[in-house]
Structure 1
Amino acid sequence: MTAATMRLTQYAHGGGCACKIPPGELEEMVAGLTGPATDDLLVGVGDDAAVVRIEGGRAVIATADFFTPVVDDAYTFGRIAATNALSDVYAMGGTPLVAVNLLGWPRGVLPPELAREVLRGGADAAREAGCHLGGGHSIDDPEPKYGMAVTGLGDPDRLLRGDAAVAGLPLTLTKPLGLGVLNNRHKATGEVFEEAIAVMTTLNRDASVAALAAGARCATDVTGFGLLGHLHEVARASGVTAVVDASAVPYVDGARRSLADGFVPGGSRRNLDWVRPFLDAGAADEDELVLLADAQTSGGLLVAGEVPGYPVVGELVPRRGETTLVVR
């Protein structure tokens, strides 16, 4: 087998953000593991990135993100993973400044030219974002993994936070869902979904700028915990209930068909199991809920507020007891 015919997704047990540790397990794992509280640490555990106030009326935004291959093409995998890592800075309302690579590579299994292609894809994503890229760290790993640690800058008084949702605001989603089921199908069959690749390699830069311009103060990016999982985190932290209009949620072409054919990441079902105790599903069937909980890779922003040019998919209302999520 040559490097050109190797399918990267076959060398990992899962793919993309669907490989995240399930949210319930993760919460137990990190419970109580917070650093010393200071006035300058504006955002710590529980949001998309850490934010620290520095001199000059600015804030440093720091994050790291990496995962196993979500597509077979090495260059495209690198672009997707880097775009996803950069997204955490955009989700906080910041601008990426500098990134370093994080690479795990099975040296005796996959040739170095494929690793080079992964890194080239990441470099091109960073270049598109106007973000400096300086080296990084690599290890010999049984499975291929790639991502970035990214540092950005923002305005401490104009952050997009995950705990700042207010009842009465609409919910806006800036990318379609369904990436998890399509990536699962790609891993199983080798079929390539160009729209899914285009979505995953689109920076959230424009959406972040538009959200800030519209006066938004609350957002998160929709990745491994799915729309319902990330929205549950926002609603819980903000003391509100989120109502999702299932008929208004956009999907990548082929997602529903792939779900019907049985291509569902295990992470998507775990996401749904996690939020189900806090969910009023109304008349939504199980397939609809699985799609709403589908584990996304390099998904869009979910914004509390209306953002011109992007669809409104629900609204925020006063908290209804223990219910953080309503699907109608």
Structure 2
Amino acid sequence: MPVNQRIWTLEDGYKELNTIRLNFEYDLENLIETRPEVIDDNLMLIGRQVITSNQGRIDLLGINLEGSLIIIELKRDKTPRDVIAQTLDYASWIVDLSSDDISKLYQKYKGNDPNASLSKDYKTKFNKELEEEAINSSHQLIIVASEMDSSTERITNYLNRYSIPVNILFFSIFEFEGKRLLSRTWFIDPQETIENTTPPSEKAPWNEEFYCSFGHDDNRSWNDAVKYGFVSAGFGQWYTKTLKMLSIGDRIWVNIPHTGYVGVGTVSTECLIAKNQKFELFENKTIFELNTEGKYLADFKDDVEKSEYIVLVKWEKTVSLEQAVSEIGMFGNQNTICRPTSQKWLFSMKILKSRWNIQ
């Protein structure tokens, strides 16, 4: 159904706000470049008007925390068929870009500044290392428009049905008391298109076991996790919200980025903010009262947004960092928790269960 955004005030007789015609050439492209969070809080732009091999130009190119490349194409005055076909053409070009190619695109975007570094700026933005194997492992295609017709709706639904992650983002500007208000609406829930980033040929039924990415660094320690029985994440909802996917009794397989798989266990508590998660086997103390190697964002323990969040785990098998299992082709993901539906996950399970003698 074509989207038509309208807004009313709740006072003054439910007055409808006036809409202002968007200048796609200037207003939105500049706005998105200046404030990429209007698309997604976890978006970092790496190119604008990127010239492709067939002399096309990608309006905006970004990368998200998972390493996915995000093509953002403004509809302007193009027909639905033209803009979707053009976006797909751009995706067919970026799919073959290497991590080195992408780093060069970013340097060009930064005016060939010799100090520009994709990996360094990515870590500054996301407080996380950019894993080379994650770069360009998947794509998301976003078409920015102010309205949609039935043809665009039909094509977009069809592509998503067959796992082509295309979405449409609608912006409208309204005028209220001399101020301009920006409204944003997604055609499809962004999470649904993210789930479509795995090609059909690589998909497999979920085996009802969870993947966990554990960040072993100055803030948290795998030795602590083994000793006290937990996994954790913090410093923002992107890192912590997926921990809440876990339920008591779920089995998780823990991978440390750049190191390998180090453990498997069963969830024994719900996810709680660190200051409220009590370790029953250790005198009901919190993580901040235990003798730990990690700091667990102690400075933010009262900050609901940035605090560490903890799930207690009963370990079935753990190994040291030196014994971590890492093989070419094994599954990896930057989400703290995910439900993998890929052949790589089944391949990883086969290796780990055999190596650790787990049924």
Task: Provide the TM-score with structure 1 as the length reference.
Answer: 0.29
- Greater gyration radius: 2
Task: Provide the TM-score with structure 2 as the length reference.
Answer: 0.27
Return the structure number with greater relative CO, CA threshold 8 A, min gap 6: 1
